């Protein structure tokens, strides 16, 4: 039995040795083809050169399969692009399948006669007439009560300000009308100083100025104001009759002279002196009030009041205030529409003022009302919309009629719209496929596919064939609802899904290209298309940055809001209308918003299924898989705690390197968490789980069996991963993190035993993992981190330089063993990775302050 067992092992070694030689031949050929600049070839490193007789391995099915996979990952099949263009053209080009050859504006090739009588509705004209009626309907206005209250409040404030100004002026008349008439009082209060001096001097005729009462003397004292040129001199004569004789006083001044002189003659000097003092006080108060009016020029009340306010007596002013309020209430009750021309508003105010305000106060009341009134009518949106819809429904359908035998159109005539309706009714419009139009549309689709390919090469160069199939299938859903007569598209869902699956740039590009193709090949309202396209682009741009389903759900609400805002804006721009139609579109805007939210719900519900069916690795799915509460990771922590701790440290190393090298950090972290799940099949077979207990392999005492146990964690890990339906990108970390490395410990043990027992030399291939070697930068980084983890953990007192030297040796060994030849990692990146690993090790292995024994015994920490 022992000899049979030895023979079986030897055959297995020969088989694996042959595979190793084929692998070396493949590596050498690849190195010659790509012009690799790595330092040292296989021969230079002192390894065994491949057997020339095995160069035919490059023609083996395995070699062709591997090369075919690489070409499939990096290139596009021309046939697949042709099929994509054909599918998109066929589905999107629905408009070109049933095009009339005899359309409006074409020349009739013959005379067409109606085979029977018909009455056909002209739906296009009917719809146009209804839209015109809807947009031309009169807006229904209603009084805005808050605006009325605001206007009345402003008026009360303005009238109160008028009261304050009148108080400053001292009231009017300031004397009993029996003493001086109101006209004379107004003149004396507003007259210039030299006019007052002239009046008082004339009234004091017959008395020397020096003998007048003090009040009179101060009132007629020489004024610093310039004296009119008609005056004979700067000094007052004994009598001031010259002022009247020369006509320097106005008729009101002359009347003032007469009334003041009469009062002086009929009353005592003391009474006359009191009169002059009253006049002086009134002039002073008037001057103060005029000064307050000047200050109003710098406030919001500028221009409302003028000196005529002080010419009204108290009774007239009170009546004027009440009349203004009445006029305002009437105007507000009648309603002031927005946009009312200024001249019409002035006429309306004048008419209201004339009927209720005292005649003397009409100019003041008119100016005051014009200053405070403003439009108080607003459009009642609901009633306006109902009125517009009622007007549209009242438009009767337009019909085109014809009798049997009547000529529809004669040969050589240009076909009109009405004639086309009849030709189409009798199937005489010769509808068929528009081949030239369909070919042109196919060219447009080809350009769109080419643009998509260019963007894909820049943003997602590793897109798989199944990914392109998914993009095509999602794109084909865009015109599906349009073909059913529903003016909504799935652009929102397409943007959310593709942005989440393949990034913002590719998702936004796809939505933009579909938005361009849809109106060419289908009959979709432009407003609906732009709104849906805007929502799709916004969703695609934002979805690429999301890391949870909850964020994706919130984004759906924002997409709906975008569509609801874009739709009315685009509609108002295209229709150039702000009338009732502007309110009619609000309902459509609400439907657009709801459609955006609905499509986001659809996208959110489909995304998990699409991720599983098309084996997608999105940031959201990676974040979900990296949750330590996932069943598989919880099992790993419970059944193989040492492996779990090893995994966490490897993940820390790999994440840091992936971030520094610009790799997919989420993929690296998630893949690392699952790379050693196969060790759960026999956790005690691995040193990190033995916790200082007996070594299982010492009991086995057979390096071949021990090596099979070690290698089995890869195959068992793949079984577990498939059972849990992990993405293939995550499954790849399980075999590729070991590549085809040798299980060195048991290999050397087997060599020693063979030498001791006199058996043939042991081949290394029997103690190598089955591979494959890392096929991506991410799995290559995890291989290096996994190789360095145990070595770094074993360093306690080593310096960073010593740790760096050790890590560099490990990385060099992996490089020289051709483990990274397919990973995409370069020789120049190896020192950078080593520095990152050592830096993480330093952070992980930081020193702490040693606590005194007394502090430890007391349980206190400082």
CA distance 698 to 633: 29
Choose the weakest-confidence range: 18-32, 543-557, 827-841. 18-32
**Fold (topology level) of 453-621:** Arp2/3 complex 21 kDa subunit ARPC3 (1.10.1760)
The pLDDT confidence band at residue 225, using thresholds 50, 70 and 90, is very low
Choose the weakest-confidence range: 39-48, 233-242, 491-500, 707-716. 39-48
Comparing 134 with 71, the larger pLDDT belongs to: 134
CA distance 383 to 661: 64
Q: What is the pLDDT of residues 33-42, one digit of tens each?
A: 333 333 333 2
User: What's the rounded mean pLDDT across residues 13-26?
Assistant: 43
Q: Which long-range contacts (CB under 8 A, 24 or more apart) does 321-326 make?
A: 321/159, 321/162, 323/353, 323/356, 323/357, 323/358, 323/361, 323/365, 324/155, 324/159, 324/353, 324/357, 324/365, 324/368, 324/369, 325/152, 325/155, 326/356
CA distance 322 to 328: 10
* 773, 821 contact by CB (below 8 A): yes
Q: What is the pLDDT of residues 577-615, one digit of tens each?
A: 544 445 557 778 888 889 889 988 999 889 889 988 998
Residue-wise burial string across 547-559, b where 16 or more C-beta atoms lie within 10 A, e elsewhere:
eebeebeebbeeb
Which pLDDT score is estimated for 210? 46
CA distance 768 to 727: 26
Residue span(s) of the chain under CATH 1.10.3210 come to 641-844
pLDDT beyond 60 at 572: yes
The Cβ of residue 626 has, within 10 Å, a number of other Cβ atoms equal to: 19
Which stretch of DSSP H or E encloses residue 63?
helix 61-74
pLDDT beyond 70 at 43: no
Which pLDDT score is estimated for 848? 53
Which pLDDT score is estimated for 674? 93
Residue-wise burial string across 359-383, b where 16 or more C-beta atoms lie within 10 A, e elsewhere:
eebbebbbbbbbbbbebbbbbbbee
Which of 48-52, 422-426, 791-795 is modeled with the greatest confidence?
422-426
Choose the weakest-confidence range: 31-45, 538-552, 814-828. 31-45
Which pLDDT score is estimated for 448? 93
Closest CA to 639 of 697, 710, 688, 709: 688
Q: What length does the chain have? A: 862
**Does the domain spanning 641-844 belong to CATH 3.90.220?**
no
Contacts of 234 (CB under 8 A, 6+ apart): 222, 227
Contacts of 39 (CB under 8 A, 6+ apart): 827
The Cβ-side half-sphere exposure at 173, using a 13 Å CA radius, reads 14
Average pLDDT, the chain: 79
Alpha helices, DSSP H only, in 170-268? Answer: 182-190, 193-203, 214-219, 241-245, 251-266
pLDDT beyond 60 at 220: no
Which pLDDT score is estimated for 232? 39
Contacts of 861 (CB under 8 A, 6+ apart): 851, 855
The Cβ of residue 169 has, within 10 Å, a number of other Cβ atoms equal to: 22
* 518, 524 contact by CB (below 8 A): yes
Which pLDDT score is estimated for 595? 87
DSSP string for residues in 699-731? HH--HHHHHHHHHHHHHHHHHHHHHTT--HHHH
Closest CA to 583 of 385, 380, 379, 390: 385
User: What's the rounded mean pLDDT across residues 374-380?
Assistant: 86
Q: What is the pLDDT of residues 163-194, one digit of tens each?
A: 888 888 887 888 888 888 888 888 888 888 88
Q: Provide the Cα torsion 20, 23, 27, 28; round to 10°.
A: 70
Q: What is the pLDDT of residues 85-99, one digit of tens each?
A: 999 998 888 888 877
Residue span(s) of the chain under CATH 3.90.105 come to 100-131+395-431
Q: Is 141 helix (H, G, I), strand (E, B) or coil?
A: strand
Q: What is the CA radius of gyration of the chain?
A: 50
* 734, 766 contact by CB (below 8 A): no
* 543, 518 contact by CB (below 8 A): no
User: Between vectors from CA 361 to CA 360 and to CA 367, what angle results, nearest 5°?
Assistant: 135
CA distance 450 to 85: 10
The pLDDT confidence band at residue 383, using thresholds 50, 70 and 90, is confident
Which pLDDT score is estimated for 1? 37
Comparing 507 with 766, the larger pLDDT belongs to: 507
The pLDDT confidence band at residue 846, using thresholds 50, 70 and 90, is low
DSSP string for residues in 482-549? HHTT----SHHHHHHHHHHHH-HHHHHHHHHHHHHHHHHHS---HHHHHHHHHHHHHHHHHHTT--SH
Which pLDDT score is estimated for 722? 92
pLDDT beyond 60 at 204: yes
pLDDT beyond 70 at 44: no
The pLDDT confidence band at residue 138, using thresholds 50, 70 and 90, is confident
User: What's the rounded mean pLDDT across residues 782-805?
Assistant: 85
Which pLDDT score is estimated for 648? 92
pLDDT beyond 80 at 224: no
Hey, which residues does 378 pair with through a beta bridge? Answer: 142
Contacts of 650 (CB under 8 A, 6+ apart): 672, 675, 782, 785, 786, 789
Hey, which residues does 46 pair with through a beta bridge? Answer: none
Residue-wise burial string across 654-678, b where 16 or more C-beta atoms lie within 10 A, e elsewhere:
bbbbbebbebbbbbbbbbbbbbbbb
Q: What is the pLDDT of residues 325-342, one digit of tens each?
A: 998 898 889 888 888 888
Q: What is the pLDDT of residues 516-530, one digit of tens each?
A: 999 988 888 888 889
Closest CA to 119 of 429, 431, 425, 428: 425
CA distance 106 to 415: 6
Q: Provide the Cα torsion 121, 125, 131, 137; round to 10°.
A: -90
Q: What is the pLDDT of residues 305-314, one digit of tens each?
A: 888 888 888 8
What's 95's DSSP letter?
Answer: G
Closest CA to 423 of 105, 109, 114: 114
Backbone torsion region of residue 485, taken as left when φ is above 0, otherwise alpha when ψ lies between -120 and 50, otherwise beta: left
Which pLDDT score is estimated for 482? 82
Which pLDDT score is estimated for 582? 53
Which pLDDT score is estimated for 162? 87
Choose the weakest-confidence range: 59-73, 218-232, 438-452, 803-817. 59-73
Alpha helices, DSSP H only, in 576-702? Answer: 580-613, 619-625, 631-639, 641-661, 665-674, 696-700
What's 774's DSSP letter?
Answer: P
Q: What is the pLDDT of residues 337-367, one digit of tens each?
A: 888 888 888 888 888 888 888 888 888 888 8
Which pLDDT score is estimated for 734? 93
pTM above 0.85, yes or no: no
Its CATH class, for the domain covering 100-131+395-431, is alpha beta
Q: What is the pLDDT of residues 436-493, one digit of tens each?
A: 888 999 999 999 999 999 999 888 888 888 999 999 999 999 888 887 777 788 999 9
């Amino acid at each position: 039995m022992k000899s049979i067992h030895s023979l079986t092992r030897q055959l297995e070694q020969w088989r694996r040795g042959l595979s190793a030689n084929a692998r070396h031949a493949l590596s050498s050929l690849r190195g010659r083809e790509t012009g690799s600049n790595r330092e040292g070839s296989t021969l230079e490193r002192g390894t065994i050169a491949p057997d020339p007789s095995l160069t035919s391995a490059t023609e083996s099915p395995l070699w062709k399969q591997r090369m075919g996979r690489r070409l499939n990952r990096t290139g596009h099949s021309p046939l697949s692009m042709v099929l994509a263009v054909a599918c998109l053209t066929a589905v999107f080009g629905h408009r070109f399948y049933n095009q009339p050859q005899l359309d409006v504006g074409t020349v009739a090739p013959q005379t067409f006669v109606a085979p029977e009588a018909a009455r056909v509705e002209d739906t296009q004209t009917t719809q146009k007439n209804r839209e015109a009626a809807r947009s031309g309907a009169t807006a229904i206005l209603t009084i805005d009560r808050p605006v009325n209250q605001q206007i009345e409040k402003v008026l009360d404030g303005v009238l109160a300000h008028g009261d304050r100004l009148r108080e400053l002026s001292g009231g009017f008349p300031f004397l009993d009308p029996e003493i001086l008439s109101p006209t004379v009082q107004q003149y004396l209060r507003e007259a210039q100083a030299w006019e007052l001096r002239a009046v008082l001097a004339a009234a004091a005729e017959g008395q020397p100025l020096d003998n007048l009462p003090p009040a009179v003397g101060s009132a007629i004292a020489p004024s610093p104001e310039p004296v009119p040129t008609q005056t004979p001199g700067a000094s007052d004569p004994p009598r001031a009759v010259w002022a009247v004789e020369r006509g320097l006083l106005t008729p009101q001044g002359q009347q003032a002279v007469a009334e003041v002189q009469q009062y002086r003659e009929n009353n005592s000097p003391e009474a006359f002196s009191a009169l002059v003092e009253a006049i002086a006080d009134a002039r002073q108060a008037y001057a103060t009030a005029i000064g307050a009016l000047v200050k109003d020029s710098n406030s919001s009340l500028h221009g409302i009041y003028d000196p005529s306010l002080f010419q009204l007596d108290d009774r007239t002013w009170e009546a004027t205030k009440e009349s203004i309020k009445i006029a305002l209430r009437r105007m507000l009750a009648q309603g002031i529409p927005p946009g009312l021309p200024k001249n019409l508003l002035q006429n309306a105010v004048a008419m209201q003022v004339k009927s209720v305000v005292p005649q003397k106060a009409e100019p003041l009341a008119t100016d005051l009302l014009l200053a405070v009134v403003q439009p108080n009518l607003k459009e009642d949106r609901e009633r306006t919309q109902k009125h517009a819809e009622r007007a549209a429904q009242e438009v009767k359908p337009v019909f085109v009629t014809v009798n049997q035998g009547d000529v529809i159109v004669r040969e050589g005539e240009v076909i009109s719209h009405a004639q086309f309706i009849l030709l189409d009714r009798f199937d005489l419009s010769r509808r068929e496929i528009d081949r030239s139009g369909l070919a042109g549309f196919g060219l447009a689709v080809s350009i769109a596919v080419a643009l998509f390919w260019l963007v894909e090469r820049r943003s997602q160069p590793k897109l798989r064939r199944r990914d392109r199939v998914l993009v095509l299938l999602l794109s084909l859903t865009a015109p599906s609802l349009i073909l059913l007569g529903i003016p909504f598209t799935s652009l929102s869902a397409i943007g959310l899904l593709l942005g989440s699956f393949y990034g913002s740039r590719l998702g936004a590009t796809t939505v933009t290209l579909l938005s361009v193709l849809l109106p060419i090949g289908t009959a979709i309202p432009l407003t609906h298309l732009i709104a849906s396209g805007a929502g799709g682009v916004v969703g695609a741009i934002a979805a690429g940055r999301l890391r949870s389903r909850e964020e994706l759900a919130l984004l759906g609400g924002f997409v709906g809001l975008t569509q609801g805002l874009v739709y009315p804006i685009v509609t108002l721009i295209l229709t150039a209308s702000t009338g009732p139609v502007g309110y009619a579109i609000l309902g459509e805007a609400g439907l657009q918003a709801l459609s955006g939210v609905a499509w986001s719900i659809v996208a959110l519900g489909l995304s998990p299924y699409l991720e599983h069916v098309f084996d997608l690795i999105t940031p959201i799915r990676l974040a979900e898989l990296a949750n330590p509460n996932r069943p598989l990771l919880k099992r790993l922590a419970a059944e193989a705690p040492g492996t779990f701790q090893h995994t966490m440290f490897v993940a820390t190393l790999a994440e840091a390197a992936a971030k520094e090298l610009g790799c997919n950090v989420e993929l690296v972290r998630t893949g690392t968490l699952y790379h050693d799940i196969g060790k759960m099949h026999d956790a005690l077979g691995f040193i990190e789980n033995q916790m200082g207990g007996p070594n299982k392999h010492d009991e086995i005492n057979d390096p071949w069996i021990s090596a099979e146990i070690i290698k089995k964690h890869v195959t068992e890990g793949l079984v577990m991963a498939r059972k849990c339906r992990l993405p293939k990108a995550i499954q790849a970390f399980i075999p590729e993190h070991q590549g085809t490395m040798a299980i060195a410990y048991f290999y050397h043990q087997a060599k020693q035993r063979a030498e001791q027992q006199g058996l043939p030399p042991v081949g290394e291939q029997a103690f190598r993992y089955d591979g494959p070697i890392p096929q991506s930068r991410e799995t290559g980084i995890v291989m290096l981190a996994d190789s360095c983890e145990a070595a770094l953990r074993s360093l306690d007192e080593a310096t960073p330089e010593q740790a760096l030297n050790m890590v560099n040796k490990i990385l060099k060994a992996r490089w020289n063993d051709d483990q990274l030849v397919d990973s995409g990692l370069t020789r120049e990146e190896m020192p950078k990775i080593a520095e990152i690993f050592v830096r993480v090790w330093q952070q992980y292995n930081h020193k702490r302050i040693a606590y005194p024994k007394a502090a430890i015994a007391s349980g206190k920490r400082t």
